[in-house]
Amino acid sequence: MKPRPADVATRIVGHYRRTRRDLPWRRTRDAYAIWVSEIMLQQTRVAAVIPYYERWLERFPTVDALAAAPLDDVLAAWSGLGYYSRARNLHRGAAEVVARYGGRLPSEASELRALPGIGRYTAGAIASISFDRREPVVDGNVMRVLARVYEIDDNVKSTPVQKRMWQLASEMVPAESPSDFNQGIMELGATVCTPRRPSCGACPLASLCRARATGRQAELPVTPRRKSADELPLIDVAAAWIERRGKLLLMRRVASGLYGGMWELPQAGAPGALDEAIGVAVTLLSDAPAAQHEQQLSHRRLRVRAWRARLGRGRVTPDPARYQAFRWQPLDRLADRGLASGTAQIARALAL
């Protein structure tokens, strides 16, 4: 027999109220603060987010403050969190909220979804947590809980199962406590109904869970096999470390694509192509790179090899297909820029 959504909801709300973690974004109902936290928490662990969240709200305490801030300041505050399009969309979204709503986020999920970077999940989270709207949320934690409780055997990333998950979540959200339910089911997936070795003995849904009843909790949810690092395509780029009177040459990437809007060392597909990227002849000062950065992205790998180099005569003219600006940044103030992660790591190695 399938568990009744109302029974599942009642147990989740009660468990959440008894055991919830004390997280900084749970001490407020301010929609802007909730928005920031939800965006930061996308694909990022809670422990990593907390210091960024607290520093962010000190620097940009309101929507108006964020909208008025230069993009460079926003990206610098985000530097290290990754997936930088999240920061750019927050900045763009803040400007739209100021222009369209006078600096106050709308309370309806449909209006929230019209803002940059806010999808169905984030809109539901903001609307329910900040405004008590009866809106569902479905993220990875929620999918795992639902797949186990209802013993869903199909791939949870498939369109039919996604529709079923959203329907189940919609039926469960109680009218009187949507905030506690949504936070509770996400919390349950994060702390109890974990991907490996779920703590079924501590779960408020243990007696309702069909996967536990059949001993299948470790098998579910069903997800596509993830590719190993060796199976992912490699992006291999060359970078130039060029100093001049205590300053380092940085280029700002165009707004779209990987690391859009971020500052980085001038880069090209090969050392011999750096001239074209910078617009001036480049001389490498050694045969071997001085530093290297490797990183696994969601669907590919990135390797940046940096050579110390010097410029020939001429005016720096960045390749417009790749860069929108350049600057000579003081070496002791590199942290003031929103640096791409590869450049940040290489700078830590070479800016002695």
- Residue found by looking up tokens 């109890």 in the block: 192
Q: Which of 151, 341, 351 minimizes the C-alpha distance to 263?
A: 341
Determine, yes or no, domain membership for 262. Answer: yes
Tell me: the pLDDT tens digits for 293-343? Answer: 999 887 899 999 999 999 999 999 999 999 999 999 999 999 888 898 889
Instruction: Quote the tokens at residue 125.
Output: 């989270």
For residues 172 and 261, membership in a common domain is answered with no
Res 192: pLDDT: 98
Residue where a domain stops, chosen among 213, 242, 262: 213
CA atoms within 13 A on the CB side of 100: 12
For residues 126 and 266, membership in a common domain is answered with no
Phi, psi of 83 (to 5 degrees): 45, 65
Determine, yes or no, domain membership for 221. Answer: no
DSSP string, 124-175: HHHHHHHH--------HHHHHHHHHHTT--SBTTSHHHHHHHHHHHHHH--S
What domain range includes position 270?
229-350
Residue where a domain stops, chosen among 182, 213, 244: 213
Q: Which of 352, 229, 268, 248 minimizes the C-alpha distance to 310?
A: 248
Instruction: Quote the tokens at residue 245.
Output: 């009177």
Query: Pairing between strand 282-284 and 301-311?
Result: antiparallel
What CATH number does residue 270 fall under? 3.90.79.10
Q: How far apart are CA 256 and CA 282, in angstroms?
A: 26
Tell me: the pLDDT tens digits for 86-125? Answer: 999 999 999 999 999 999 999 999 999 999 999 999 999 9
For residues 194 and 318, membership in a common domain is answered with no
Q: How far is CA 41 from CA 46, 81, 183, 217, 283, in A?
A: 7, 10, 13, 25, 43
Residue numbers annotated as active site: 38
For residues 197 and 318, membership in a common domain is answered with no
For residues 157 and 181, membership in a common domain is answered with yes
Residue where a domain stops, chosen among 149, 184, 213: 213
Q: How far apart are CA 136 and CA 305, in angstroms?
A: 45
Q: Which residues lie across from 254 on neighbouring strands?
A: none
For residues 70 and 209, membership in a common domain is answered with yes
For residues 137 and 238, membership in a common domain is answered with no
For residues 195 and 261, membership in a common domain is answered with no
For residues 239 and 203, membership in a common domain is answered with no
- Give the residue-averaged pLDDT of 57-71: 97
Q: How far apart are CA 11 and CA 209, in angstroms?
A: 12
Q: Which residues, in sequence order, are CB contacts of 336 under 8 Å at separation 6+? A: 72, 76, 329
For residues 101 and 244, membership in a common domain is answered with no
SS3 (DSSP) at 254: coil
Domains held by the chain: number: 2
For residues 269 and 187, membership in a common domain is answered with no
* Single-letter code of the amino acid located at 349: A
For residues 86 and 191, membership in a common domain is answered with yes
Q: Which residues, in sequence order, are CB contacts of 174 under 8 Å at separation 6+? A: 6, 9, 10, 13, 134, 181
Q: Which of 308, 177, 203, 326 minimizes the C-alpha distance to 264?
A: 326
Phi, psi of 63 (to 5 degrees): -60, -40
Instruction: Quote the tokens at residue 95.
Output: 């400007």
> Could you tell me if 33 and 25 are in contact, meaning their C-beta atoms sit under 8 angstroms apart?
yes
Res 352: pLDDT: 59
Res 351: pLDDT: 78
Tell me: the pLDDT tens digits for 132-150? Answer: 999 999 999 999 999 999 9
Tell me: the pLDDT tens digits for 236-263? Answer: 999 999 999 999 999 999 988 888 889 9
* Single-letter code of the amino acid located at 312: G
* Single-letter code of the amino acid located at 163: K
> Crossing angle for the helix pair 159-172 and 178-191, nearest 10 degrees?
130
Tell me: the pLDDT tens digits for 256-297? Answer: 888 888 999 999 999 999 999 999 999 999 999 999 999 988
Determine, yes or no, domain membership for 114. Answer: yes
What CATH number does residue 30 fall under? 1.10.340.30
Q: How far is CA 21 from CA 15, 25, 87, 311, in A?
A: 11, 11, 26, 54
pTM for this entry: 0.89
SS3 (DSSP) at 294: strand
Percent of the chain scoring above 70 in pLDDT: 100
* Single-letter code of the amino acid located at 100: R
Instruction: Quote the tokens at residue 89.
Output: 């969309």
